A and B are shown apart, each in its own frame.
Chain A
């Protein structure tokens, strides 16, 4: 009995210590996102330089249409808001509400990806047609990869925020907050990408 008691005590002590433990996982994530943002910054810098110094050769086609990417921008911005709703619901211990919002966010992410693929298949140029076509696919593709990963993570935390046995609760908000920050980051990158690739 004594050993059991003492091990319980250690556990209790550890959890007490753990509560005092400042949580710097978010700090680490922010640092990582800065690094990730620098990758995009490199791509954007390359694209803008190409635009400034490399003229499009004669006969090369590089034309983008606005409707689908505008729809995509709206989809992602709305999904940021719905994700925020999910966080608020979880904070109030309304797990099933939170789960609904999360699934809706993931749904918006999937729609975004489908729209993106639809755009890919209907563009008049392919990956290797010319420099701008390549840069377009590399940039949107790299962003799409981020959206794909984000959507998968949202589905995972949506599953984990179920009422019975889910690990994401109002006591353990970090997974949701981390994915939320990542998702806002991906949205922000998309807005910059939309401005640079489509509007400029």
Chain B
């Protein structure tokens, strides 16, 4: 046996409930924890999506007639916080990371299984706390950024619960990051070299480095903010001699890397999915690795491009513009590599592939507007307008959420041993893709024409375009229905997939589907070429 088993852990394993119940237990199995992350995240996605629908209903008319203005602010705060901290970050890191990384490094579990379970079980209570903060008198209404002095001067009880909840979620994220770094670096199967790892490992390594370096700064900042609210100190309160720009610097020192925490794992996942469905090796493995690490390094030094209108001095503007523009280089390398992977491949048009291609299209668009936003003159023009909203959602929804769905279609047979229905999957993709672009593409125009974000009322001249956008949001809401039907039906009555329905070469497919508790019946296989398509074929049994 190459990978040892912690005897205490195995004893616990035999005591744990089997079947459905294990998903409600303090399970130490990385596969169970991964699914816990995914399902929990998806439930919060439904809540966050409902809030988004409420926002778009409100914005279908220029007056605030669907909800009062302060309720609108509360709803958008909760929408942003839930989607980022409870859906994107836990799912794209926690869910897929926990499920796949031990397979990819040839291990039987994560490096610290207990810490792993603790990291997950921090999420449901803090998520419920966050949702509950909406119902106390004076819910948080300062946006997911919680900029002071807004967050200090608006009603405070909700804001404090919001801060506590985000602190707990940050803790969960840090524990996860530590675990991933230890697993990828220390728990690799003997003989497996770093440069043979599937790309998602590299993406998770880079992401975890960002998590470990930047999340604590957010935690510290929020602690200071809570002092301002509870103890009447003046760190960020100009009235008491404080400095709001310091908050912005500290906040964006986390929250810009947070964009990469949300999107780098998606880069990794798409690099796993494309070669399988295009039957070609991943193009430019080495450049992919270096571009991920380049994004990690650059991602830590670009934060002030969110603050070009906060009185930043000229040298800072210059530096952060250049650094931000530089990020386009490694990102561009990755895009050309993905396109080159598809080029000349034997492409299967299935739901996983479609969502991945949708990702490439949307993300290129979001990337281009991102480079545009890095230019100071342009940024000052569109700062805090719907252009930023559109850019952000192209990255996070058009990018990451598309990849989350793509990954669900790709790995559903692995987890359940059943296939998802392709027709429903393609329907899901078409409605999502049209709905998404209908919802967010017009917002670029709105922003360029000066419609500010985060307000319930707007100039009536924008009504038509807003209604088009709301129609897109309606389609996005509808798109969830075929997906849910598909998943719920396929779990019970789906076609049996066999162990390796895609004939994939990455290690997680070289065991049974669903996998046994300790991942492999015997020794973990040594996969030296996870993308060796066209060179050799997996042995069919």
Contacts and interface: CB of A to CB of B under 8 A. Distances in A.
Interface of A: 11, 14-15, 17-18, 20-22, 24-25, 27-28, 31-32, 34-43, 45-46, 49-50, 53-54, 57, 60, 127-128, 130-131, 134-135, 138, 142
A124 B178 CA distance: 42
Contacts of A31: 177-178, 181-182, 212
Please give me the 4 A-B residue pairs with the lowest Cβ-Cβ distance, nearest first.
A17-B4, A42-B217, A14-B7, A134-B233
B360 interface: no
Contacts of B5: 14, 17
Contacts of A50: 243, 246
Interface string B326-345: 00000000000000000000
Contacts of B212: 31, 34-35, 38
B214 A38 contact: yes
Contacts of A34: 212-213
B4 A18 contact: yes
Size category of the B interface is 35 or more
Interface of B: 1, 4-7, 10, 111-112, 115, 174, 177-179, 181-182, 185-187, 212-217, 219-221, 223-224, 227, 231-235, 240-243, 246, 249-250, 253
B233 A28 contact: no
B213 A38 contact: yes
B220 A131 contact: no
B162 to A, nearest CB: 19
B234 A128 contact: yes
Contacts of B111: 24, 28
Contacts of B220: 39-40, 42-43, 142
B246 A18 contact: no
A123 B280 CA distance: 70
Tell me the interface secondary structure of chain A in the complex: helix
A144 to B, nearest CB: 14
Contacts of B221: 42, 46
Given A28-B178, A34-B213, A38-B214, A49 B224 contact: no
Contacts of A22: 186
Contact of B217 (A38, A54, A131): A38
Given A28-B112, A127-B231, A49 B215 contact: no
Given A17-B5, A49-B249, A28 B216 contact: no
A35 B213 contact: yes
B12 to A, nearest CB: 13
A62 to B, nearest CB: 11
Nearest to B250: A42
B243 A54 contact: yes
Contacts of B181: 31
Given A34-B212, A35-B216, A49-B246, A131 B241 contact: yes
B537 to A, nearest CB: 35
A22 B189 CA distance: 12
B235 A35 contact: no
Contacts of A41: 217
A105 B111 CA distance: 32
Contacts of B235: 46, 131, 134-135, 138
